[in-house]
Chains A and B, each alone.
Chain A
């Protein structure tokens, strides 16, 4: 039967995938570059992690390769949008195609293989706390804990450090940042790269940790796009993005658990008796993404929070004032 703490734990694991991807994209977008290629970078990272671990037998090398792979792919987007001033939407879409194509071509023949995976850990003292310790700190994947740490680090970096301030300045008003001596081009390259690295890590979180294996394009099955939606929903705030990611993870598990029992709240469970109704359950995460956007956007209007002011606008030094 359904068990709330199990759903919560599962949400923490699968939510970590979205957490890495969404926080990476937040960092990229805060510097003024919108990279819609998250899905492609994630798939490429997932393949790279799996293939590298498979070939070397060492999952840490796999993680490292995935991070670098995602980062390198993002540089294509950076070059095209920052230097060639191409449209960021179209470039992001091409990146998705490119990443998907590269992943499928290089990952050919990996389906069905098994490899080393990232180990589960129990945190010594914290796991002793009643309930909380059991749910949050025992026998979870190492990457989940890294995900926990990423949230405050990202928040602190964006809001409390000088480089974080520079990054936000470049995203809001690049011309002003430029006059203050911030290198707009270099800043945007750097944070596009960081976002790509985190998307690669998100892909690796799938293929060598949370649900190990290579299932060609089904490995990510649209999670990169959900991550992009989370960025908007979270108003470019890493804490909200992480919570949203965990919620989505829980939802996925919940819709799976809903199919199990024959009786549900004292009634015949329709999903158990008519398996075709499960297709409607599978729609839920995607439909909810739209609802979340609707909710997020009305909240943003109320509180007057918007996207970084220069998001998606190429900067060309000395050409215009804004």
Chain B
């Protein structure tokens, strides 16, 4: 039996710069092909659905603005996840930190923490953003502390916290803050709304009905900050070093416990800010369903972007499109399905960066040795 055998051989040379991009794009393309086959096999028409995706996402200024609205929280969450993943901290709790951020930000108009009629909008919004980040950071502190002090698996802790915060928010939404028995709070006063392009419709006719809000700027600013932290600061150097080689980092004098907690808190703060952006920019109230699994999609975004802050923005826009388009498509699981397939193929495609495929003809010799 000496059939030619395909084997993997580890690359010794560096791959060309274009290759990671090409393999990732190839993987995404292949994901749509496989997704199409699955859709076809259950009796749906993949061409119609994909065409609908594209039209529904990029067909008009209005729909593209919807895409950017969905991308805004994804950018912030994706950045937070990228930061944590650089240190190989598996923060799967962005969903929970997002909800906690939304809760803390909502305290400002709902308690209210400042008189809503007289305080300038800029003060209200700054306070909300600040509190949103604190909420997310506190919720990120828990898994960070447990990981640093007791080496507790952060994946499980963050996941459990995701469930807990939903009940916590529900306690307020269904109870004290319920809007006359409905499962949502009252609409926030206008001072707590992030400015939208539609607000400018008086001057510029094209903007009428455009829901894009200022939250997207937070995402761009955050990308710049995360980029600077990771590439131009000592702290970023430490984060990367701890992630790549914790032993070497320890010899270099890194305080791994302290950095674990800090990175988790910063990661949580970004997700918390995303929560503030969503309640203040989109729904204008606190309610149970403010996230369409942004926290989990953020994990995929970070990974697809290969933990690069600028790539996070691009991938978030693509995922925003996926979310917008899948709103109107049945069955509703399609967007999950595609996200799962995309992520699977992207991590599989990494094998091409590490290994070469080689045909070995003399499998016989090897077999004899093994026997």
A contact residues vs B (CB 8 Å cutoff) = 36, 40, 76, 79-80, 83-87, 89-91, 93-109, 222, 225, 228-229, 232, 276-277, 279-280, 282-283, 286-287, 289-290, 293-294, 297-298, 316, 319
Contacts and interface: CB of A to CB of B under 8 A. Distances in A.
B10 A36 contact: no
Contacts of A94: 300, 340, 343-344, 347
B159 A98 contact: no
Interface of B: 8, 10, 38-39, 42, 90, 92, 146, 150-153, 155-157, 159-161, 163-164, 167-168, 170-171, 174-175, 296, 299-300, 303, 330-341, 343-344, 347-348, 350-351, 354
B91 to A, nearest CB: 11
A108 B330 contact: yes
Contacts of A96: 340
Q: Which 9 pairs from chain A and chain B are nearest by CB? A: A104-B333, A101-B337, A98-B340, A97-B340, A101-B336, A108-B331, A94-B343, A276-B175, A84-B351
A36 B299 CA distance: 14
Contacts of B90: 89
Given A101-B338, A283-B168, 16 more contacts: A83-B351, A94-B343, A95-B340, A97-B337, A101-B339, A102-B340, A105-B38, A228-B155, A229-B153, A232-B153, A283-B167, A287-B160, A289-B156, A290-B160, A293-B153, A297-B151
B167 A282 contact: yes
Contacts of A232: 153, 156
A89 B88 CA distance: 10
A225 B337 contact: no
Contacts of A229: 153, 156, 160
B152 A293 contact: yes
Given A276-B171, A289-B160, A105 B337 contact: yes
A90 B344 CA distance: 8
13 contacts: A86-B348, A86-B351, A94-B347, A98-B340, A104-B333, A105-B38, A107-B333, A225-B156, A229-B156, A279-B174, A280-B167, A287-B164, A294-B146
B197 to A, nearest CB: 32
B110 to A, nearest CB: 16
A29 B44 CA distance: 38
Contacts of B152: 290, 293-294, 297
Given A105-B331, A229-B156, A290-B157, A90 B150 contact: no
Contact of A98 (B10, B39, B330, B344): B344
A280 B171 contact: yes
Q: Identify the interface centre among A97, A106, A283, A293: most chain B CB within 10 Å of its CB.
A: A97
A95 B348 CA distance: 13
Contacts of B348: 79-80, 84, 86
Contacts of B38: 102, 105
A85 B300 contact: no
Contacts of B161: 286, 290
A293 B154 CA distance: 10
A287 B164 CA distance: 7
A84 B337 contact: no
A292 to B, nearest CB: 10
A232 B147 CA distance: 14
A297 B153 CA distance: 9
B341 A98 contact: yes
Nearest to A307: B153
A141 to B, nearest CB: 26
Q: Identify the interface centre among B150, B156, B159, B341: most chain A CB within 10 Å of its CB.
A: B156
B172 to A, nearest CB: 9
Given A97-B339, A100-B333, A293 B350 contact: no
A134 B38 CA distance: 48
Q: Identify the interface centre among A90, A105, A294: most chain B CB within 10 Å of its CB.
A: A105
B350 A86 contact: yes
A89 B151 CA distance: 17
Nearest to A79: B348
A60 B92 CA distance: 36
Nearest to A181: B370
Contacts of A83: 8, 351
A279 B343 CA distance: 34
B11 to A, nearest CB: 12
B157 A279 contact: no
Given A97-B340, A101-B334, A101-B339, A293 B157 contact: yes
A231 to B, nearest CB: 10
Contacts of A105: 38-39, 42, 331, 333-334, 337
Given A90-B347, A290-B157, A290-B160, A103 B333 contact: yes
Contact of B160 (A86, A225, A276, A279): A225
A293 B299 CA distance: 23
Contact of B333 (A102, A286, A289, A293): A102
B164 A93 contact: no
Given A99-B340, A105-B334, A298-B150, A80 B157 contact: no
A286 to B, nearest CB: 4
Contacts of A104: 331-333, 336-337
A313 B135 CA distance: 35
Nearest to B351: A84
Contacts of A228: 155-156
